[in-house]
Amino acid sequence: MAEEGDVSVSAGESTVIKLGVSSCLLGEAVRFDAGHKRDRFVADVLPGFLS
């Protein structure tokens, strides 16, 4: 019996995964020190793998 939250995907199927990313990792100046912590992978590379 599957537990709540378990996901089973068969070959040829896909599932949608929601991904939350902090605005500061995208380069927005929203940190307590009025800065950001832009991460190149999160801002530039990762979106190519997401729809």
- Angle CA 22–40–42, to nearest 5: 40
Q: List the domain range (segments joined by +) for residue 20.
A: 16-51
Please check whether residue 7 lies inside any domain of the structure. no
Count: domains in the chain? 1
**12 Cβ contact list (under 8 Å, min separation 6):** none
Please check whether residue 33 lies inside any domain of the structure. yes
**What span, in angstroms and rounded, lies between the C-alpha atoms of 35 and 51?**
28
Whether the CA torsion 10, 7, 16, 26 is positive or negative: it is negative
Please check whether residue 1 lies inside any domain of the structure. no
Q: Let me know: does 36 contact 28? Beta carbons within 8 Å.
A: yes
* pTM of model > 0.75: no
pLDDT in tens, the chain (51 residues): 556 666 666 777 777 778 899 999 999 999 999 899 999 999 999 888 876
